[in-house]
Amino acid sequence: MTWKLDSAVEIHKESPYTFYLPSDQVITQLKVGDLVKLIFMATETFDNGCQAERMWVEILERNETDFRGKLANQPYYLSSLQHGDLIDFKSEHICSTQLDDPYAKDMDYYFDKKITVSNDVLSRNEFNFMLRFDPDNEHDLGWVFFSGYEDDEFSANSENFQVISVGKMLNMDDSILEFIDNSETLHCAYERDKDTDILVKIENYDWSIHE
């Protein structure tokens, strides 16, 4: 099965809050002997439904953003690759390293902190209404996201909602980052203004409808 390297930079652009990309500071530090992880994309879908295999490569040579290394894993799916094969790659292909990266702490936050979201939000890839209740635990931010198109019957069914990482919502609209974890937004409601596309706080929201 043939393969190509996927661009970690491009994946990060599409999902900046859920796909970790090593910082420039870390990439600069990489040297011969270090291990980096690359994404090997297959031309066909694997039996498990995936189309990529992430594997470690040991750096043998470096010339600025150009690298040569040898495969440090034995591929599980890609039979055309073998442990020790030489791999030419660029810095844009690196999706992980073994070096400490301060930026990784931000990614941990986006993954560890949870919100509740309606399935309609995920189907439409948009949210237009937000409510913040008291958090249930240290990971819960208390937010519930709605598309704004849900009817009462839909909203009354708990199976139409799921708990996910807040990073998923930030990928849709990161303007909420400025208030998403602010204690002053507890028991607050926000609705997207149709004219400006900005989320605006609703004054005197009637919370009794949720009792």
Total structural domains within the chain: 2
In a domain, 107, yes or no: no
Are 50 and 123 within one domain?
Answer: no
Are 56 and 131 within one domain?
Answer: no
| Rounded to 5°, angle at Cα 73 from 67 and 74 | 130
Instruction: For residue 1, name the pLDDT band (cuts at 50, 70, 90).
Output: low
Are 73 and 157 within one domain?
Answer: no
In a domain, 211, yes or no: no
Are 35 and 118 within one domain?
Answer: no
Out of 32, 66, 101, pick the residue that ends a domain.
101
Instruction: For residue 201, name the pLDDT band (cuts at 50, 70, 90).
Output: very high
What's the token pair of residue 99? 């070096």
Are 12 and 74 within one domain?
Answer: yes
Is the pLDDT at 129 greater than 90, yes or no? yes
Give pLDDT, residue 146. Answer: 97
In a domain, 117, yes or no: yes
Is the pLDDT at 93 greater than 90, yes or no? yes
Give pLDDT, residue 44. Answer: 79
Report d(CA 98, CA 199) in Å as an integer.
39
Are 192 and 162 within one domain?
Answer: yes
Report d(CA 7, CA 19) in Å as an integer.
12
pTM of the model as a whole: 0.85
Which tens digit of pLDDT belongs to each residue from 52-62? 999 999 999 99
Cα 204 off chain centre by: 34
Instruction: For residue 208, name the pLDDT band (cuts at 50, 70, 90).
Output: confident
Are 123 and 192 within one domain?
Answer: yes
In a domain, 132, yes or no: yes
CATH number at residue 95: 2.30.30
For residues 114-126, average pLDDT: 97
Give pLDDT, residue 162. Answer: 97
Report d(CA 72, CA 85) in Å as an integer.
8
Report d(CA 122, CA 26) in Å as an integer.
33
Which tens digit of pLDDT belongs to each residue from 166-184? 999 999 999 999 899 998 8
Report d(CA 184, CA 85) in Å as an integer.
55
Report d(CA 59, CA 149) in Å as an integer.
51
| Rounded to 5°, angle at Cα 127 from 16 and 148 | 175
Asked if 173 and 127 count as a contact pair (C-beta separation under 8 A), the reply is: yes
In a domain, 136, yes or no: yes
Q: What domain range is 72 assigned to? A: 3-101
In a domain, 119, yes or no: yes
Report d(CA 27, CA 55) in Å as an integer.
17
Are 122 and 64 within one domain?
Answer: no
Is the pLDDT at 103 greater than 90, yes or no? no
Is the pLDDT at 107 greater than 70, yes or no? yes
Are 8 and 32 within one domain?
Answer: yes
